[in-house]
Structures are given as structure tokens and as C-alpha cells.
Amino acid sequence: MCLCCYGRLSLARQETKEFSRVEFLRTWRVLIGARRKRAPESKRNPQAPGVPDAVLPKDVEQRLKLCPLWTGKPVSPDRTSDCELAATELTRFFDRCLSTERYILRDEWKSKLISLITEVLDNCEQHANRDKYWYTIGHFNQLEGEAGRECHIVIFNLGDSIFESLKREDTPLPLRRRISDLAFLHRKRGFLGMRRPHWEEDALWTLYALQEGVSRFTDSPGGEDRGNGTVRMIKFFTDLAGDRPRMALISGKTYILFDGKYRLEDKLFAGDERRKIIAFNPENDLEIPPDADYVKSLPFKFPGTLVSLRFILNKEFLKGVREVVDERH
């Protein structure tokens, strides 16, 4: 299921109530249940009562490569984490997608991609609070009559949104104060509220969380290296996308679209500190509201965080990113 499907489904209901976990999984199973390959027993698709498995038409099934649904949760430190296992499986799946265009990832980039996906899944565990489970799935469509192949990857968890997790008491006070001060500035300038119904404070907090070095765990061992893993993962896929990349994040009532128009860029701060910022406006300035086509507050609330990646792999485009991929012989 791509993010736009979930958005249409929710908007069609014309409701702002929160979806329950069972309601969401039932809907999810209807939309992605049509697949033959199964994940290992412990990683299978969670059952939604009363919803049977669907069967794809043969001609559609022949065009698809499927990455089964994985679910995971925190495990003891002496075991390989579910995050690492799922990240490795998604990276292998992406490599199989590349192979249809006769390319493969270089070994060092396989490791980088596994690391990026692991960080994103680890964030799902850390931020979820209530429901520690997360889910990943993917499919690859060999398009009829078009150059290239279309790849979809979805990662999501149910629980606290990014905004809700940042507002918790265990978030470092200096970080909460920085975002609160920024929200105060936007409100003072009239950016928040009735004049901009699609730009609300929870969206501002969510956008701020995507910036380099912003993490609830800054004060924890290794925490200074956390932050914006989701954006770096999205950038990885965007850089390899030949055409029409559409990648999106939905968390709580916030929707953020990535299509390559706005990118992470170095920005100089006080004391000669440089950090990568993506503000989704031409000035790349977090003190100015983002482009409303790319960052907006929604009339409904998703009960957690979902990242949807959709992009085209094209042989001609891949020739220009040879530092990342090799030709497959």
C-alpha cells in the first residue's frame, strides 16, 4: 500500500477519528494480502479477523517481485535484532530490483543501506512508546510499455507520532525548548492558526525532527550521531530514482512529501556550526513556513508513523551513479 492510497481511504471517510489498530490492520490486509511468497513464520502478516487472503491475476503476478511483510519488536542485546534482519531483507530485495536493470549495489552501499534502514526501524521501536511493533513490506512492478521498473517500499509502526514522542517528558528539555521557541516565533508572525489551516504546531515539531542532529536521545551514549536517518534513507533512494520519485512520511496528523524538489543542504549556524537542513521552502529556512504542497497538517490522524517510498529504476539513469552501483554480468 502506498501512502496516497491510505490518504484517499481516510479522506473518503470524511472523519477525523483515530483508526484503531484492528481497523488499520484489516484495511492493510485487504490492500496487501495478495501475495504468494510468505515471510518466516515468526514474521508473517498479522491476521485481520474475517479478511481472507487475496489472489493476484496471473498476468499481474508475473510482473511483480515481492518482499514479504516483516514485523519486529525490541529483542535482548545478545540476539541479532529484528531491525537488522528486516533491513538486510529489504536491501536484498532492492538489489534484486536493481538486477532487472542489470545492476547491483556495491558492497559498501549495501552496508550503508542496511545501516540506514536499521536506524529508521530502531527509531520506530524507540518512539512508539505503546506498541513497539513495526512493519515493513515492498513490491516491484515491471511496468508494461514503459522504460524502467517501479519500486515501492513501506515502513510503519503504530503508537506515538513523532510529535507525541518529542513532547514526552523524557525528551531533553533543551530540545523541547528549541522547538517551542520556534513554534512561538511562527505563532507571533501569524504563520500558525486560522491564516494557514494546513500548517499547525504538530507539523512544525515533526518537520524539525527531520533535521540533522535532532534526536530525543542526544544525551544518551551514541545519541549525538542519531537524527534524520529517515531523510537520509529517502535521499539514498531519491538519488537512484530515474523518474518521478514520490516518497512521503505521515506521522499523526502531519504529511510530508519528498520528490527531489527540496533536499538536505548544509547551513551555517552560530559558532561556525554546519548542519544539514531541509525546510521545504526556497530559502531553506525553518523560521519560514514550508511549501504547503510538501508539508501539511491533515484532517485525520494516523496512529503512528508511516514512510512510503515509490520510485522508478531506469537503466540509462543508473549509468550516472556508478559510485553506488555496478553492472551485473
Q: What is the CA radius of gyration of the chain?
A: 20
Mean pLDDT across the stretch 264-284?
83
Q: pLDDT tens across 215-259, in order?
A: 655 544 444 444 568 888 888 888 887 667 888 999 999 999 998
pLDDT of residue 133: 84
Lowest pLDDT segment from 54-63, 243-252, 287-296: 54-63
pLDDT band at residue 181 using 50, 70 and 90 as cut-offs? very high
Cα angle, residue 190 at apex, residues 281 and 200 outer, rounded to 5°? 65
Q: How is the chain split into domains, by residue range?
A: 3-327
pLDDT of residue 136: 92
Q: pLDDT tens across 78-122, in order?
A: 777 889 899 999 999 999 888 888 888 888 888 989 998 998 888
Specify whether the CB–CB gap between 248 and 308 falls below 8 A: yes
Task: Give SS3 for 133.
Answer: coil
As given in the structure block, the three cell numbers for residue 24 are 488499520
Half-sphere exposure of 91 (CA within 13 A, CB side): 22
Does residue 47 register a pLDDT over 60? no
As given in the structure block, the three cell numbers for residue 74 are 525490541
Helix pair 173-188, 201-209: axis angle to 10 deg: 130
pLDDT of residue 19: 44
- φ and ψ at residue 80, rounded to 5 degrees: -65, 130
Half-sphere exposure of 161 (CA within 13 A, CB side): 20
Better pLDDT: 328 or 310: 310
Q: Kindly report the number of other CB atoms within 10 A of residue 281's CB atom.
A: 17
pLDDT band at residue 124 using 50, 70 and 90 as cut-offs? confident
Distance CA 120, CA 206 (A): 15
Distance CA 139, CA 94 (A): 9
Specify whether the CB–CB gap between 161 and 176 falls below 8 A: no
Does residue 214 register a pLDDT over 70? yes
Q: Is the pTM of this model over 0.85?
A: no
Better pLDDT: 131 or 234: 234
pLDDT of residue 186: 94
Better pLDDT: 282 or 21: 282
* DSSP symbol at 90: H
Mean pLDDT across the stretch 150-158?
89
Does residue 31 register a pLDDT over 50? no
